[in-house]
Structure 1
């Protein structure tokens, strides 16, 4: 696998980025991905400021390779988080769920490489105009919070590639080397994987949730709660309660009350498979084992190279 714009931008071996998922992306996962040649990300969206500082410190001790932080810009303590990121010397930040103009200049002033996550061409252009160094374009196959337009990765990647000139990372529905090659043929410079790493030994989410990921089959996830923030969930009792609420004409306020607080933590981190919010991507149907990160990475690279050779010989 030759060096390209993403490996050069981050100083990594492979153009593979681990998604900064809430309740899954702690220091063990991030450092393992970085040690295996990819870019590990800490998921700041489920961390209080003191917890983020702890994970940064532990990640530094666990790897001497580059790693970064994913931070949703709607986070209430974002100013404190940004100061911790700067003071800790973190050099790569992925921003999401907000206007990239808000923090990009601040981060770049401190020598930080900035990547923004988008789900449409419109927001990709806004991110490029804001001065980010790269873009993650995430199709609606992805787990967790998602775009409202339901644009698939296969359509989104070439559409964004056509309009931007900065490096492009594909996300959503990628868990194999074959999918990685397909994304790069469509114009991506690298890929970001969430669900595949959520079902890793090093992921910080609950083992019961990991087992639900590998048990999932085609059709077991659904994008819902668009009135609040679109999110892809595994179907469980909580999901069925949402559907019953829709059938009864629930308003956005009704849905917000049903969702309550800490529902994602309850499901993914504490292992409540009945009442918890279980965020995962469609590609969970292709994930059949919980594996260590190094095996996942080695498989991705081997599958990529084998698929690339097959295409060349077609």
Structure 2
């Protein structure tokens, strides 16, 4: 399949409610992956015509501000910022996004109705990520503009319902702009999402394996060797289900008892606090908020301290024998490391071809 030619017309079906709402050229979103979606990757996606989303959930406030400045120095295109709705300083972060002119406020967890109203009153587009129809209906009733709908084959935290079932469920249940996620990597997938009633697609694993991604090159090459059967959906990383590459460290987590997991989580929390500069009091407050908002046990809250360090160890430090590698099953369909420009152009070209074939 070929990339989009310089003189090739883009099919009208690729101009959707998503491109209008986000102010971008193509209905392609790069998700806000912690430790991965940095300023460089976000700007590269924006310059390629998609919606790049900065992952700020693991950044300090000052790091988030610096990253936004870096993006705006690299592109004049719209972009989004992903924050955690339960962060103690989330209101201050929203104020920063408003003053900086960020286009989209992306949330990994559903923000409260008052926070959605604050964003919308200031002109921010609000886009939570969900994994169940009832969650989409809830954020729609609270005023969200768009929603990323991730099926069970997606990477990181994910539910059980596959995209092929969840996406049409949500598209039928809400008038929000709907972005499909989980299993997308090419133009055929984009067309299929549009056929299900979505307004575009979001991709994590596919954008993680691009030239601009900060993931260590040696780790990218490991990802390229994996098949669609090389992932596992586990609760042993942070207490809630997420899809990761089936590796030795994951097998150890699966086998270890509660005491071992909690001890490891405590060590990782201490290391994360050193790197992020987060105070213990702030981490405790966030843990209390997580327990209340996500209905977690205290054991699950403590285990949630595992994730930042386990991901960083594998993805950024390149130690796949000690860390954890989040990924969707789509990893088995990815075989190269293009630039974001090459990837987006290729997907649009493939979508053009698929639509032309269907039209004929």
Distance across 2 between alignment mates of 1:256 and 1:70 = 28
Matched, 1:43 2:48: no
- Aligned equivalent of 2:255, options 229, 244, 249: 244
Q: Report SS of the residue matched to 1:273.
A: coil
Rg larger for: 2
- Paired with 1:140 and 1:46, the residues of 2 have a C-alpha distance of 24
Which segments of 5 or more consecutive residues in structure 1 lack a partner in the other structure? Answer: none
Which residue number corresponds to residue 318 of structure 2?
A: 271
Which consecutive residues of structure 2, in runs of 5 or more, have no partner in the other structure?
A: 1-10, 270-308
Q: 1:182 aligns with which of 181, 184, 192?
A: 192
Q: Distance in 2 between matches of 1:172 and 1:219?
A: 15
> 1:223 and 1:122 mapped to 2: Cα distance?
22
Conservation of the 8 A alpha-carbon contact between 2:214 and 2:316: yes
1:100–1:15 Cα change, 3 Å: farther
C-alpha distance in 2, partners of 1:232/1:209? 17
RMSD: 1.6
Alignment of structure 1 residues 302-313 onto 2, 5 Å: 302-313=349-360
Q: 2:301 corresponds to which residue?
A: none
1:81 Cα deviation from its structure 2 partner: 2.3
User: What's the offset of the Cα at 1:102?
Assistant: 5.0
Alpha-carbon contact 2:110-2:129 (below 8 Å) kept = no
CA contact (8 A) 1:181 1:304 kept: yes
What are the within-5 Å matches in structure 2 for residues 136-151 of structure 1? 136-147=148-159, 150-151=160-161
Contact 1:153–1:173 (8 Å) recurs in 2: yes
Aligned residues: 306
Aligned residue in 1 for 2:201: 191
SS of 2:315's partner is helix
Q: CA deviation at 1:99?
A: 3.9
**After superposition, what is the alpha-carbon deviation per residue over 1:41-100, rounded to whole angstroms, capped at 9, x for unaligned?**
101122111111111001001001111111222334433422322232212111122444
Where 1:213 maps in the other structure, the secondary structure is helix
1:298 alignment counterpart:
345
Aligned to 1:83: 95
Asked if structure 2 preserves the Cα contact closer than 8 Å seen for 1:117 and 1:135, the reply is: yes
Bigger relative contact order (CA 8 A; separation at least 6): 2
Query: Distance between the aligned counterparts of 2:114 and 2:183, measured in 1?
Result: 29
Residue 170 of structure 1: aligned partner: 180
Please identify runs of 4+ aligned residues in structure 1 that moved more than 4 A. Answer: none
User: How far off is 1:209 after superposition?
Assistant: 2.2
Query: Offset at 1:258?
Result: 3.9
Residues 9 and 256 of structure 1: CA distance in aligned 2, closer, same or farther (over 3 Å): farther
| Mapped contact 2:31–2:53 kept (Cα < 8 A) | yes
Pick the aligned partner of 1:229 from 234, 240, 262.
240
Structure 1 CA distance, aligned partners of 2:34 and 2:102? Answer: 19
CA offset digits 1:186-222 (Å, max 9, x no partner): 1101110111100011112222222222121121111
Structure 1 residue 254 displacement after superposition: 4.9
Query: Matched residues in 2 for 1:153 and 1:255: separation?
Result: 31
Give the drift of 1:257: 3.7
Tell me the distance in 2 between the aligned counterparts of 1:229 and 1:275.
20
Correspondence for 2:117: 105
